[in-house]
């Protein structure tokens, strides 16, 4: 093993601000430029990179691809290489980037005062990281941003000049905005969704300052309550549970003001989830039980039953948890519809795959129903792998969450190979999608991996290293290290 070379490879990658996924993409690009099509898939190549950074052992073939990706000469490859200036290989720039612009290259790609070394590592901006890539695509972002902002400005102007209250057109647009936000929450971009939700919320606040008809005020309270519920979820995904709880309490206030039971239930379900992942299991159980006073049927009723199930499971009540899972299934099968399910998305009309994911997770937490948990989770994963029903959208963290819980089941039975297999697609998630819902479930995997049966296992140690790196590259870690 050449540990020194492995450390050098990792340092070179990190100096450029690249994740292993990004390193794999660049090696693949280098191979294709050399007409080499026999390179592994990205996931397999990431595993190779992980091994090379631990042990060295890079073949001559991949040394050439590393040099092309790093923009260095072959003589500069390795910790003991000469410091001769690069001759024939030039760094690649992102497609469509204007190389005359001062922002054409990332800071880590700019020239260094020391020959043979990359420039200083400067973390990419939050917006770049959040798009799940290390290369800014300014053109696409600018066009989308400008088009959306123009539409928003027109809508705001029309609302300001509506002479009769706030008008049906404005209310229709706000309902459409909330439906769109619900779909965005499923799509895998919590930070942009949070910022867009804040824009919609602020617009509703401005409208609430006007003289309104009672029906209009009720409708606006409902909408702003839904927006606060979504923002609370986004804030928790980004790793800010205190802010999440505050936003959810605001949503609860609006639900109370209009006596809206389904919205009360939704807020309680999300509060139960936030409390659960903070380790406050009594509080989570109480939130879920209280929510069931307002709604116990349909997708949201199932969500509340399942939140209660996993909380009581962690409180040492496996049979009560199993009963709650059964109640959730009955609630999910009930013919139920309200104005929250009308909004759609997994946050207001939980889809069947999500119900199976939460049911399996609750059974995992009992430590007593392993086969039943595996059946629920395998069913969830199979549904996520199918095309969603018309009008539905699989949440970006749905299959990863089910897979993480299934890995726990495998580890408890000693099946380390099975755990590694189901975790492969989870560990390949881009940083933008490594939100708290996923990292929290992987923490349960780490707990099982620490069992005595796995001590001394190189495969277990390797998986543990990958889980630690996953956490280091999670979006929550990246956002929390940013300055104001």
Q: Where are the domains of the chain?
A: 3-95, 167-259
Q: What is the pLDDT of residue 165?
A: 55
Taking the C-alpha atoms of residue 126 and residue 307, their distance in angstroms, rounded to an integer, is: 32
Residue 458: pLDDT above 90? yes
Q: Note the pTM of the prediction, 2 decimals.
A: 0.67
Residue range 127-159, pLDDT digits in tens: 333 333 333 333 334 445 555 555 555 555 555
Taking the C-alpha atoms of residue 167 and residue 176, their distance in angstroms, rounded to an integer, is: 15
Residue range 416-427, pLDDT digits in tens: 999 999 998 899
Q: 72-81, 105-114, 432-441: which has the minimum mean pLDDT?
A: 105-114
Q: What is the mean pLDDT of residues 204-208?
A: 92
Long-range CB contact pairs, 417-425, < 8 A, 24+? 417/459, 419/445, 419/449, 419/463, 420/459, 420/463, 422/381, 423/463, 424/43, 425/43, 425/399, 425/400
Residue 481: pLDDT above 60? no
Question: Which residues fall within 8 angstroms of residue 198, CB to CB, at 6 or more apart?
Answer: 231
Element (H, E) at 20: helix 20-33
CA terminus-to-terminus distance, the chain: 43
Residue range 13-71, pLDDT digits in tens: 988 888 888 898 899 999 888 877 777 777 778 878 988 888 888 888 889 899 999 99
| Of residues 21, 92, 7, 12, the one with CA closest to residue 52 | 7
Residue range 340-376, pLDDT digits in tens: 989 988 888 888 999 999 999 999 999 888 899 999 9
**134 conformational bin, left if phi > 0, alpha if psi -120 to 50, beta if neither:** alpha
Q: What is the pLDDT of residue 205?
A: 93
Taking the C-alpha atoms of residue 75 and residue 325, their distance in angstroms, rounded to an integer, is: 62
Give the single-character DSSP code of 43. H
Taking the C-alpha atoms of residue 287 and residue 281, their distance in angstroms, rounded to an integer, is: 10
Instruction: Find the radius of gyration of the CA atoms of the chain.
Output: 25
Q: Give 478's pLDDT tier (boundaries 50, 70, 90).
A: low
Exposed, middle or buried: residue 424 (CB in 10 Å: 0-12, 13-18, 19+)?
A: middle
């Amino acid at each position: 093993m050449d540990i020194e070379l492995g450390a050098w490879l990792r340092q070179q990658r990190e100096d450029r601000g690249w994740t292993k996924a990004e390193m794999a993409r660049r090696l693949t690009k280098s191979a294709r430029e050399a007409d080499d099509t026999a390179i592994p898939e990205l996931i397999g190549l990431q595993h190779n990179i992980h091994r090379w950074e631990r042990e060295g052992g890079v073949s001559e073939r991949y040394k050439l691809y590393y040099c092309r990706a790093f923009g260095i000469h072959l003589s500069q490859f390795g910790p003991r290489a000469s410091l001769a200036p690069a001759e024939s290989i030039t760094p690649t720039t992102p497609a469509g980037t204007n190389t005359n612009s001062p922002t054409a290259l990332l800071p880590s790609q700019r020239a260094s005062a020391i020959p043979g070394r990359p420039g200083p590592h400067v973390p990419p901006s939050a917006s770049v990281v959040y798009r799940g890539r290390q290369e800014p695509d300014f053109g696409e972002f600018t066009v989308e941003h400008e088009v959306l902002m123009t539409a928003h400005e027109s809508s705001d102007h029309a609302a300001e000049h509506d002479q009769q209250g706030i008008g049906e057109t404005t209310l229709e647009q706000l309902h459409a905005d909330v439906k769109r936000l619900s779909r965005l929450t499923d799509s895998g971009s919590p930070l942009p969704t949070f910022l867009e939700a804040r824009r919609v919320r602020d617009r509703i606040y401005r409208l609430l300052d006007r003289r309104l008809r009672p029906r209009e005020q009720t409708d606006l309270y409902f909408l702003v309550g839904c927006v606060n519920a979504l923002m609370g979820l986004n804030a928790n995904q980004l790793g800010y549970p205190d802010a999440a709880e505050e936003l959810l309490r605001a949503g609860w206030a609006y639900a109370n003001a209009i006596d809206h039971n389904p919205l009360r239930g939704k807020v309680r379900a999300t509060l139960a989830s936030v409390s659960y992942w903070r380790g406050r299991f009594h509080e989570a159980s109480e939130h879920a039980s209280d929510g069931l006073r307002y709604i116990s049927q349909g997708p949201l009723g199932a969500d509340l039953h399942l939140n209660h199930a996993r909380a009581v499971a962690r409180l040492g009540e496996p049979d009560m948890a199993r009963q709650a899972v059964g109640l959730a299934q009955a609630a999910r099968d009930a013919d139920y519809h309200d104005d929250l399910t009308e909004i759609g998305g997994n946050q207001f009309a939980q889809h069947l795959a999500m119900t199976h994911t939460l049911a399996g997770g609750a059974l995992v937490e009992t430590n007593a129903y392993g086969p039943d948990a595996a059946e629920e989770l395998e069913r969830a994963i199979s549904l996520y792998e199918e095309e969603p029903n018309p009008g539905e959208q699989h949440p970006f963290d749905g299959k990863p969450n089910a897979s993480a819980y299934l890995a726990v089941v495998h580890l408890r039975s000693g099946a380390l190979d099975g755990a590694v297999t189901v975790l492969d697609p989870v560990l390949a998630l881009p940083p933008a999608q490594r939100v708290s819902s996923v990292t929290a479930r992987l923490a349960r995997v780490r707990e099982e991996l620490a069992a005595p049966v796995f001590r001394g296992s190189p495969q277990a140690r390797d998986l543990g290293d990958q889980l630690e790196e996953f956490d280091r590259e999670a979006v929550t870690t990246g956002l929390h290290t940013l300055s104001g």
